[in-house]
Amino acid sequence: MSASVRGPHGRRPWKLTPARLGLYGFLIICALFFLTPLYVMIVTSLKDMPEIREAHILGLPTAPSLAAWSKAWFAACTGLTCNGIRVGFVNSLRIMIPSVIVSIIVGAITGYALSFWRPRGAVLLFGVLIAVAFIPYQVFIYPLVRIFSYLGINNSIAGIVTIHTIFGLPTMTLIFRNHFAALPEELFKAARVDGAGFWRIFGVIMLPMALPIIVVAVILQVTGIWNDFIFGLVFAGRENLPMTVQLNNIVNSTQGEREYNVEMAATLLTAIVPLVVYFVSGRWFVRGIAAGAVKG
Amino acid sequence: MDVQGNVSLRGVAVGYGPIRVFDRLDLEIAQSEFLVLLGPSGCGKSTLLNAIAGLTEIDDGEIWIGDRNVTWHEPKDRGIAMVFQSYALYPRMNVRANLSFGLKVARTPRAEIERRVRTAAEMLQIADLLDRRPAELSGGQRQRVAIGRALVRDAGVFLFDEPLSNLDAQLRSELRVEIKRLHQRLGATMIYVTHDQIEALTLADRIAVMKDRTFQQIGAPQEIYLRPANRFVATFVGSPAMNFVPGRIELGTGGPVFRSASLRLELPTYPFVQAPVDAAPVELGIRPEHVIVAPDAADAHEVSVELSEPMGSDLLAWTRLGDLPLSIRLPAETRLTPGDRLRILLPERRLNLFNVANGARM
């Protein structure tokens, strides 16, 4: 309508062509495909069990209640104990925070050393690092368990942090190396003429320039480590099982009635950290995916 | 810091694995000298500068600065300062921090840092930019800051790696003058890498022309320009390029004579560097501004004008001598139309003869 008012000098009239209809149809189907499970989870978590048994899976809750959320957080049974999933939440934080920090620091230093200082065999080292990233990591688990128990760090926070640092190393090194390799080498030379050494060039000049890539690294590592299941199960030890493992224990426990509302709430609670990261850092996250494209 | 500035390269060789960048170069640079390393890209001039700076390890030979053998010294311990083509300013620091970074690393007292930064900033007229970030500066300002960062080091030797190549023509000539002024004022030794022959000719006390990882000629700008040691130097230095006429030398009874299809020149006083051989193929070279227009001379050669290029300060005539192109620099007010005929002389003392076999000056 506005097009006809403005006359031929206005915006080109919007035409609803079949191609356009198809495009929108496809987009709507895609959105429904991904949103429906989320919708089901949220409404189910707000229902009580009698209402769930009526099997109107898409229906809105008649009397929405956070009781299931409360139970999932405080009182759901994971195996023998019934302290809720909050135990796992705390464990996941205790694993994630040091793992993210250590793996990023190690990856940044490795990437920096490989791109600027070029030690003998740097190309080979980098090649091996990337090649190893393609080996399924389940292969490493048994030998690593043996090594860690020999070192005495199996079943501990130190052990799981070491694991996440090791397995984060290829991706972290790759994104930092690529970032540093794109910086002009003359910057590095200028700093050397100014007398700065390995650590000062890294800390004072290179790291401040790596801020965007650090954000990307944090996003990749936070989501990756939070979502990890098998490393946490194998290496963290019974006292430190992360949230994902606890969630599995709740959802897959076979005794008694299955409390779908509690399970949905527990699942949503577990997914909150990565979800927050996705939503808060959308722009950065896309970049992170591109940067870590070699291994997702 | 000592401010001795004579640099001595003794048999310096650089290689990357089996690839030789260059072999056994020797060069003596005097205190306060302005030496320009001139050559096309890939000739090894930047590698040589990096070797002097200590940023590239050398495989063989020694580098002396002042009376110290600095071959294995770290860059910071060599008493050098360096300016880079890409400015290489630390992007996260403001200008003041950029200037003082090296001094802070060297634990210079704060008052001394402040004093040196102020002096350098005033000298380069960047005092009002001290609180800006490099991203907020223009190209010319950035390169001033980069020069300032070198100044505060109080070094005996300044190394410039194509510092003006990223600037537009106007800024380039402005900063060129500034660098020259700086050299006169500081009296420091300067080693300057460029592929721009104008920069080399205007700045240098001595030019070292490089090609294929060796020195082609080392000498004062006038000498490089007027008496190039070989055909490469003759073509690389000078714009528009030198004219070349292929021919041969004839040793008759009346002294050596240059002869080509359209030219016969007697060379009674030409200062031969190599003794001429009879009938040896040679190339005769003469710069456009050395051709003399002499309408009345009896022994003049005739050329026909193809086109003329007014350059503002002068005029360049593109002519044909027989079927060979010959460019002539003429006064700006000359009026020429294509097809005009000019009578010219090629003065003997301005001629250059090159051996066709190896390009060397004869």
Query: Does the distance separating the beta carbons of B55 and A190 come in below 8 Å?
Result: no
Provide the β-strand partners of residue B10: B62
- Show which residues on chain B lie within 8 Å of chain A, measured between beta carbons: 50, 53-55, 74-76, 80-82, 84-86, 88-92, 101-102, 105-106, 149, 153, 161
CB contact A205 to B (< 8 Å)? yes
Per-residue pLDDT at A291: 54
Extract the tokens encoding A296: 């997702």
Mean pLDDT on A207-228: 90
Q: How many CB atoms lie within 10 A of CB A23?
A: 11
Beta strand pairing call for B68-69 and B60-65: antiparallel
Closest CA–CA distance from residue A208 to any residue of chain B (Å): 7
Confirm if B224 and B233 have CB atoms less than 8 A apart. Answer: yes
- Check pLDDT > 60 for residue A169: yes
Q: Answer with the residue of higher pLDDT: A1 or B360.
A: B360
Confirm if B217 and B224 have CB atoms less than 8 A apart. Answer: yes
Considering only residues 229 to 248 of chain A, which have any Cβ-Cβ distance to chain B shorter than 8 Å?
A: none
Per-residue pLDDT at A296: 33
Cα separations (Å) of B238 from B164, B198, B235, B243, B320? 19, 8, 7, 11, 20
Amino acid identity at A67: A
Query: Does the distance separating the beta carbons of B92 and A205 come in below 8 Å?
Result: yes
Mean pLDDT of chain A: 87
Percent of chain B at pLDDT > 70 equals 98
CB contact A191 to B (< 8 Å)? yes
Q: Answer with the residue of higher pLDDT: A282 or A178.
A: A178
Place of tokens 């722009």: A283
H-state helical runs in chain B:
45-53, 95-105, 110-123, 139-151, 169-186, 197-203, 221-226, 231-236
Extract the tokens encoding B140: 């010319």
> Residue A294's pLDDT band (boundaries 50, 70, 90)?
very low
- Check pLDDT > 80 for residue A200: yes
Query: Does the distance separating the beta carbons of B105 and A200 come in below 8 Å?
Result: yes
Could you say which residues of chain B have pLDDT below 50? Answer: 1-2
Per-residue pLDDT at A78: 77
Question: Among all residues of chain B, which has the CA nearest to that of A183?
Answer: B88
Per-residue pLDDT at B246: 93
Q: B87, B92, B166: best mutation site toward chain A, by most A Cβ within 10 Å? A: B92
* Chain B CB contacts of A194 below 8 Å: 76, 101-102, 105, 149, 153
Closest CA–CA distance from residue B286 to any residue of chain A (Å): 40
Closest CA–CA distance from residue B35 to any residue of chain A (Å): 20
Per-residue pLDDT at A58: 86
Long-range interactions of A273-276: CB distance < 8 A, separation 24+: A273/A92, A273/A96, A273/A222, A273/A226, A274/A222, A274/A223, A274/A226, A274/A227
Q: Which of B82, B92, B153 sits opposite A208 (nearest CB)?
A: B92
Strand (E) or helix (H) holding B28: strand B19-29
C-alpha A116/C-alpha A188 separation (Å) is: 7
Question: Among all residues of chain A, which has the CA nearest to that of B77?
Answer: A195
Q: Which of B74, B76, B85 sits opposite A186 (nearest CB)?
A: B85
Strand (E) or helix (H) holding A193: helix A185-193
B109-133 tens-digit pLDDT? 999 999 999 999 999 999 999 999 9
Per-residue pLDDT at A8: 63
Question: Among all residues of chain B, which has the CA nearest to that of A197?
Answer: B105
Nearest alpha carbon to residue A209 among A181, A237, A236, A238: A181
Per-residue pLDDT at B154: 86
> Residue A177's pLDDT band (boundaries 50, 70, 90)?
very high
- Check pLDDT > 60 for residue A295: no
Per-residue pLDDT at A285: 63
C-alpha B21/C-alpha B46 separation (Å) is: 11
Query: Does the distance separating the beta carbons of A193 and B75 come in below 8 Å?
Result: yes
Nearest alpha carbon to residue B119 among B158, B143, B160, B151: B151
CB contact A189 to B (< 8 Å)? yes
Provide ipTM, 2 decimals.
0.87
How many interface pairs between A and B have CB atoms less than 8 angstroms apart? 61
Within its chain, how far is the Cα of A63 from the centroid? 34
Closest CA–CA distance from residue B42 to any residue of chain A (Å): 17
Q: Answer with the residue of higher pLDDT: A291 or A131.
A: A131
Supply φ then ψ for residue B23, to 5 degrees. -120, 125
Question: Among all residues of chain A, which has the CA nearest to that of B102?
Answer: A194
Closest CA–CA distance from residue B47 to any residue of chain A (Å): 13
Strand (E) or helix (H) holding A92: helix A86-112
Mean pLDDT on A256-281: 87
Considering only residues 209 to 228 of chain A, which have any Cβ-Cβ distance to chain B shorter than 8 Å?
A: 209
Choice among A10-14, A135-139, A182-186, B134-138 with the minimum mean pLDDT: A10-14
Per-residue pLDDT at A7: 58
C-alpha B317/C-alpha B333 separation (Å) is: 12
Amino acid identity at A288: G
A202-215 tens-digit pLDDT? 999 999 888 888 98
